[in-house]
A and B are shown apart, each in its own frame.
Chain A
Amino acid sequence: MTRQAKTWLVIGAVFVALIVARGMIGQGLGRVYVKRTEVTAKLPDAAAVNSAAAAPSASASASTSAATTAASTQATAGPSGASSQATTQSSAASISWQEWKQVPPLEFAAAQKVNAAQTEITLSWPRTIGLWLAAFFTLAIFSFLYADNPCYKIAESLVVGVSAAYWGVIGFWDTLVPKMFGALTPGLVKSLVQPSLVAPEMLQQISMVLALVLGVMMLWRLLPRGGWISAWPLAFIVGVTAGLKIVSHVESDLMAQAAATMKPLVVSVTDASGATNMWDSWWASVANVLLVVGVICCLAYFFFSVQHKGVVGGAARVGIWYLMITFGAAFGFTVMGRIALLAARLEFLFDDWLWLIDPNHFRSL
């Protein structure tokens, strides 16, 4: 066993021991409670019931759910703990299902006190397992700070796979379905996804055909041959963004910024009584002078077709000083942001998982 493996073993053992110890003290740690609510939706007509029964969720559990209790179905429903199920009531043209909303442990304790046999608020196993998984992922990625290791690699592989699929799915349901399929196959979208769909205009349909053609060309590159065809949609993307960017950059970053720099070098600040405040005027004037000089000197630094000698060289030198001050400020601000992110992760570990602190009063008043 290498020294590193031993170290990992010791760290792991100490960690597990600490967590076990934590679990035995006080309220324990890391559980999620949910509250059940009933949702009923009226179907517009009887014929539509059939299509509703074909719904992925409704059909999955409709037949078996009547007999099972809420808590047990919830633990078994769906591959990763989807906490909803549907029951089709044969008599009325409506379907109903149960939804679970996360509640603080405090509410569970209160409900138990009133009636120990209540089933409205229960421990959610899928979410509790999820919470522990999330804690594991957090620690797995932090473990990279010590050294690269299999846990980190697993987390890394997962994040790649999950996020790519996640983006693809969001692009499909949020943009492609309402915009492209909504224009090309309005009937299908209307009956399956979005009954409120507005009938597409002719122009919309034509442009979506164009989009579809470009999209297919883009996807062509997944095939082994004819990848060059994907240069067409690429050209479209490059051209459109270039057209967009030229206008916006010149307008907001060139003209507006140059106009905002045209400030008087002498400013007189008057206070409430109307008298000139010498001290404030002085500082305001200095600020304006520094600003104007800074902008011009930094511009000089970015001259490329002129050698940096003489006046241009001097201005460029002042320019780089300004740039360094700019970078220093950016550094300070960035540090601030990064630390807030770390604080948020540690809050998750200490609060949601280990129950060491309770800033939100979820577990104690």
Chain B
Amino acid sequence: MSAANFNNTNAAARPWFERLDRIDRRWIFLLMFLAVSGPILWIGVTGKTLPEAPTLAARAVFQEIDQLPARSLVLISIDFDPASAGELQPMATSLVRQCAAKNLRMVFIALWPLGNQVAQQTIQNVIRDDYPALKEGDDFVNMGYQAGNEAVMKLLLTDFAKAFPKDSRGEATSNIPMLKGVKMASNFPLLITVSAGYPGSKEWVQYVISACNEKMNFVTGCTGVSAPQLYPYFPQQIVGLLGAIKGAAEYESMVNASLAVDGVATAPKYLQAQRRMGPQLVAHLLMVGLIIVGNVIFFARKRRGAA
């Protein structure tokens, strides 16, 4: 795919804009690489991050979790795989951290085949490492993955144990102490999902939130790609929405601020999203620059063509 548009036989004879227009796209790739790697190295060395001002949708996520009384049950669906972890892992980490700090009882499920492994890692990094007092089965449980996408959601609506017959340790659902009394999805006052696509937040709204006779509150974190599609549901069906790494950074800064202890710096693993906003800034500027240059070429060519 490289040499196809790399043609410089009579490059000198062409006006500047033609040459620029036919520039090998690998130069653009290189620019993008520099725009992202530069800030990563700089932030990695200096440890500085940019300030975040949380928007309404992100504040709503924080408040929704914050207002739940301690020991409430929350259903957390990890609907992404490592391919999207760059965007979504910081969200999952912060969401679990806030829930753990609030002493909510967390039930993890996954509708993506690799989601179970992601949930497992998140549990390890946040709960086991930093909240070792929380006990599996009493305070949190990972129910693993189930195939079937929407049909699993449909089953969750009426029978939780049928949808997820065992947890990832092999314990039958009916023997798990914290799930005593959980019959169906609506027994959870709050549903939290982190979603990378299909099945994800949209399907949760369609198959669970809308179909539930009882009102279930729903907050979600999603990739930048799916965020625009979820805005029509906000704030009626989706109470709080974290869109892309920016949403993650906003929410992360809120959670960090709420859990900050004087004199103790926040653990660096809880600053992941905010660190990634640095490369984001430079890369966005590069994108804007590229679009502007592309259009300058376009108009220069148009003028030449018209003259």
Contact = CB atoms under 8 A, between A and B. Distances in A.
Nearest to B1: A148
A170 B145 contact: yes
Nearest to A247: B211
Interface residues of B, number: 71
Nearest to A204: B162
Contacts of B232: 257, 260
A241 interface: yes
B170 to A, nearest CB: 5
Interface in A226-246: 240-241, 244-245
A280 interface: no
Most buried by B among A146, A195, A256: A256
A68 B112 CA distance: 40
B1 A197 contact: no
A333 B165 contact: no
A252 B205 contact: yes
B43 A340 contact: no
Given A333-B228, A343-B276, A350 B170 contact: no
Nearest to A177: B166
B134 interface: no
Most buried by B among A147, A241, A252, A346: A252
B28 to A, nearest CB: 10
B207 A244 contact: yes
Contact of A336 (B45, B146, B236, B284): B284
B283 A251 contact: no
A334 B2 contact: no
Interface string A181-196: 0100000000001111
A251 B2 contact: no
Interface of A is mostly: helix
Contact of A245 (B2, B146, B148, B150): B150
Interface string A240-270: 1100110111011100110010000000000
B227 interface: yes
A145 B228 contact: no
Given A241-B150, A330-B225, A337-B245, A170 B113 contact: yes
B235 to A, nearest CB: 10
A92 B82 CA distance: 42
Most buried by A among B165, B225, B228, B275: B165
B63 interface: no
A248 B210 contact: yes
27 contacts: A147-B3, A166-B114, A174-B144, A178-B165, A196-B166, A196-B170, A198-B165, A241-B150, A252-B205, A252-B206, A252-B209, A252-B210, A252-B211, A252-B233, A330-B229, A336-B245, A336-B284, A337-B87, A341-B84, A341-B86, A342-B32, A346-B37, A356-B41, A357-B41, A358-B44, A359-B43, A360-B268
B236 A244 contact: no
B146 A248 contact: no
Given A345-B86, A350-B44, A256 B172 contact: no
Interface in A138-168: 145-148, 166-167
Contacts of A197: 166, 172
B263 to A, nearest CB: 16
Contacts of A179: 165
Interface of A: 145-148, 166-167, 170-171, 174-175, 178-179, 182, 193-198, 204, 240-241, 244-245, 247-249, 251-253, 256-257, 260, 326, 329-330, 333-347, 350-351, 356-361
A333 B29 contact: no
A335 B26 contact: no
Interface in B168-199: 170-172, 174-175
A182 B164 CA distance: 13
A251 B87 CA distance: 30
Contacts of B175: 196
B113 A167 contact: yes
Contacts of B269: 360
Which 4 pairs across A and B sit closest by C-beta, in order of nearness?
A357-B44, A344-B86, A337-B224, A252-B210
B15 interface: no
Contact of B280 (A167, A251, A340, A347): A340
Nearest to B163: A179
Contacts of A334: 224-225
Contacts of A326: 228
Contacts of B114: 166, 170
A339 B273 CA distance: 12
B151 A244 contact: yes
Contact of A171 (B86, B113, B224, B283): B113
A146 B2 contact: yes
Given A247-B211, A334-B225, A358-B44, A343 B280 contact: yes
A361 B110 CA distance: 31
A360 B270 CA distance: 9
